[in-house]
Amino acid sequence: MTRAATLLDGWLHATSTLTAVRVPPPGRVDRAVAGTAMVLAPLAALPLGAAAAVVVLLAGLVDLPPLATSYVVLLALALGTRAFHWDGLADTADGLTASYSPERSLEVMRTGPVGPAGVVAVVLLSGLQAAGLTAVVRHEHGWWAVGLLVCASRAALAVCCVRGVPAARADGLGTTHIGAVPVVGAVATLLAAAVAVALAGHALGAAVPALVGLLVMVAAVGALLVRCVRRLGGITGDVLGAAVELSFAVLVLASATT
């Protein structure tokens, strides 16, 4: 398989998995394609970033209050991902609080309905995202910043799937992806995210707080990975979704301080 074919299939796989955008199916999905998809996740999220930016622009034209604008942005992102990441966040929270048994926790994550911990996690994290977005969208160029931060938050996927991170089970949607990203690929994705975050911060008046937010994002995702590996023996596809939503919350909150 040529490198060009792997890149194309990786982009198609990332777009079809991480967004509701309809694209042709990839020619194949193996470890190389799955790892490439995680590296290209911020690029695949461009339609989501564009949708969020358009929402902010239109909300400004009709003088929608910033808080309402923030929740419409979150609604657009949920629709644009089929609430895929929110489901992962809820399942991860339920699994980590369900039992001290890794087997029982993984079973809850796989089959259980959303429990109290999942509901609390979704409510609190969406509230934090909305709080951060409320401050960001007040800026003249807030629409541009929001779009960039949406894309940058997807860099968390390359971090979660870097080589050395174990999978908690041998089956499941995330198994092919976990551990499939070379270290150089994860670093490249983070560097691209740093550029996006710096541009977002510049649009809001200061790049440094936004870049600090990226560092905090990596630390937060790292802490989540450590916790899941210790409790579950590895991570699952649900943890990937949780990492995306956690990362977006951290980035918008950091950018809100500019």
Q: What phi and psi values does residue 72 have, to the nearest 5 degrees? A: -65, -40
Cα→Cα distances 239→51, 92, 111, 165, Å: 25, 6, 15, 12
Report the pLDDT value the prediction gives residue 202, as an integer from 0 to 100: 96
pLDDT per residue, tens digit, the chain (258 aa), is: 688 899 999 999 999 999 999 999 999 999 999 999 999 999 999 999 999 999 999 999 999 999 999 999 999 999 999 999 999 999 999 999 987 889 999 999 988 789 999 999 999 999 999 999 999 999 999 999 999 999 999 999 999 999 999 999 888 778 899 999 999 999 999 999 999 999 999 999 999 999 999 999 999 999 999 999 999 999 999 999 999 999 999 999 999 987
Report the pLDDT value the prediction gives residue 170, as an integer from 0 to 100: 83
For tokens 């919350």, the residue is 249
pTM comes to 0.96
Q: What phi and psi values does residue 14 have, to the nearest 5 degrees? A: -65, -45
Which one-letter amino acid corresponds to residue 84? F
Report the pLDDT value the prediction gives residue 1, as an integer from 0 to 100: 60
Q: What is the 3-state secondary structure (H, E, C) of 37-98?
A: HHHCHHHHCHHHHHHHHHHHHHHHHCCCCHHHHHHHHHHHHHHHHCCHHHHHHHHHHHHHHH
Report the pLDDT value the prediction gives residue 200, as an integer from 0 to 100: 97
- Rounded Cα gap, residues 33 and 40, in angstroms: 10
Sorted by where each begins, the domain ranges of the chain are 42-255
Query: Degrees (nearest 5) of the Cα angle 230, 247, 138?
Result: 155
Q: 164: helix, coil or strand?
A: coil
Cα→Cα distances 130→95, 103, 239, 251, Å: 25, 35, 21, 12
